[in-house]
Structure 1
């Protein structure tokens, strides 16, 4: 498992090689998102109970909490198993849900089989300037936060 990353002016890109089939890599990223997502990276304060990635364009990524609250912090923009998924990043600069869709960025993840049990995964978080004045703080935060090593560990264990 190796990982690399790059940052441009308004986007962040990371990639990793995962030791599993492309189908499994896609399923773990989407259906299994709670298994690898950093438990400290959620928008509400209550303990997280579930994290759901609705498997269709027009769906959402939804966090549900122990106190009964829920947070829909992303809209699924593309769902093309097993090669591509894209979602909005409906998160404000102060790390709350963003309701102004003109102030949201986008995350695209592509999966390319490089062998029957090896997949190259590339995540690109783009249009970060849409977050408005101070958007560079979001770019810097996601540049530190998009570490796919835990995802690769979970996907490779399957």
Structure 2
């Protein structure tokens, strides 16, 4: 009967997760088309499969037929993401499916914007679900460092594209 009154204390129960948005960007010293191609066609050259993969250092990462896949040396495949938007050379949208600790599932968007000096700003944003306790507070998670990890991935891409090596 306590919930008959408007000032009744809320009852503990499952809470729906909220969306956390993670954003980071880098500037690469190449034009828009080269920046997009370096990110998409050459992802296997800069993605750190030794630290962030299902199959380890010998695997291959790449976009294929609307999906971002990792393939092991034995030919096993792991679907990382489905491409939800592919607008060369300005943006990519991904429905990120796999938990690659510390990268969690969610929606990932990458945009490429030309600057007047001929360089390109590459922005990555991720919307990920954040679990909540029955009291409605965010539950600490090992993936709380996602923003640093996404930033490190973009910095690795930027180094591959010719940016300063001191981006770490």
Q: Which runs of 5+ in 1 are unaligned?
A: 1-8, 96-102
TM-score scaled by length of structure 2: 0.70
Matching of residue 87 in structure 1 with residue 94 in structure 2? yes
TM-score, normalising length from structure 1? 0.74
CA contact (8 A) 1:13 1:124 kept: yes
| Structure 1 residue 34 corresponds to structure 2 residue 41 | no
Which 5+ residue runs of structure 2 have no aligned equivalent?
Answer: 1-18, 164-168
Normalized per residue, which structure has more strand? 1
Q: Please give the residue correspondences for 1:8-27 in structure 2 after superposition, counting only pairs within 5 Å.
A: 10-27=20-37
Runs of 4+ in structure 1 over 6 Å off: 130-135
Counterpart CA distance in 1 for 2:132 and 2:77 is 25
Residue 68 of structure 1 aligns to a residue whose secondary structure is coil
2:70 aligns with: 63
Shift of 1:131: 7.2
Distance 1:132 1:33 in 2: 34
